[in-house]
Amino acid sequence: MTTFKALLEYDGTRYSGWQDQKNARTVMGEIRKAAKAVFGADIDMQGAGRTDAGVHALGQVMHMKVSAPVRHKPDVLLKRLNDLMPADIVILDLETAPRNFHARHDAKSRVYVYQISTRKQAFMKKYVWWVKEPLDAAAMSRAASMFVGRHDFACFRAQDPSKPHESTIVVVENTGIETEEDIIAFRIEASHFLWRMVRRIAGVLVQAGRGEISEKDVAGLLTGKCDPRLDVAAWTAPASGLFLEHVRY
């Protein structure tokens, strides 16, 4: 058994998410086809984060456990894998790893970034959420800082059928708002995330930037007691602006 650690980037626009799905085109499915052709066998693989349909990655990490004999060095395998994959999926680095390395279980934290555009974009429209109304970036920054710490994110998650009893308590290590010209970028780091949690936080921050909700409203949502006046699910930000930026080990 040979275990590899791979770092990759992808444009998720054309895919139904990261994870293998029947009758759907996924990022992992494309990598699996290329890996099977290169290694001549089915590969045990898993990513550090399961990105949803339309979500992108700048620094996804995955492991590949190969039971068949491996006759080439990682740099040769890297080139062969990339040659067989679509242009919107690229393995940036491939290295051998300890036999028991697990991309998801061994990760200490994940960093996501969400990009909001304050103007219509000709070239970046697949990678941002265009918000037409004026946004107060300072108000968004104050609201974002409230998410740091241990909170109950029940109001920010979509029910994951595969995890019916999942705890809604998450410890957020860092958040931040950065602005550059017409882009407002929201960054968040935590050990794990609930389904659609980041997109719903981004939606709430936009509501704060619009002046539609107060910091008191945000604080109330972080108690896990959802206010029926605040329809967080309806504010879910589009997938296009979300990137898995980095995985820390």
Does residue 227 sit in the same domain as residue 113?
yes
Tell whether 135 and 113 lie within a shared domain.
yes
- Percentage of the chain with pLDDT > 70? 99
Closest CA to 225 of 151, 133, 132: 151
Are 123 and 151 in the same domain?
yes
77-98 pLDDT per residue, tens: 999 999 999 999 999 999 999 9
Active-site option among 20, 44, 52, 152: 52
At residue 59 the predicted structure's pLDDT band, cuts being 50, 70 and 90, is very high
Identify the domain boundary among 62, 97, 132. 97
Per-residue model confidence (pLDDT) at position 68: 87
Spatial distance between the Cα atoms of 177 and 206, rounded to a whole number of angstroms: 11
CATH no. for residue 31? 3.30.70.580
Domain tally for the chain? 2
Residues 83 and 130 occupy one common structural domain = no
Q: What does the pLDDT look like over 206-220, one tens digit per residue?
A: 999 999 999 999 999
Relative to beta strand 242-248, strand 56-66 is parallel
Looking at the structure, tell me whether residues 178 and 200 fall in a common domain. yes
User: Residue 71 above 90 pLDDT?
Assistant: no
| Overall average pLDDT of the 44-48 stretch | 96
Q: pTM value?
A: 0.94
Query: Where residue 42 falls among pLDDT bands split at 50, 70, 90?
Result: confident
pLDDT band at residue 222 using 50, 70 and 90 as cut-offs? very high
Same domain, 89 and 134: no
> What are the pLDDT digits (tens) for 114-170?
999 999 999 999 999 999 999 999 999 999 999 999 999 999 999 877 777 789 999
Q: Is the pLDDT of residue 41 over 90?
A: no
Domain membership of residue 121 (yes or no) is: yes
Q: Is the pLDDT confidence value at 104 over 80? A: yes
Asked about 52 being catalytic, the answer comes back as: yes
Same domain, 125 and 44: no
**Which structural domain, as residue segments, surrounds residue 142?**
109-248
Q: What is the pLDDT of residue 214?
A: 96
Residue 218: give its domain's CATH number: 3.30.70.660
Residue at 104 is within a domain: no
Q: What is the pLDDT averaged over residues 92-110? A: 97
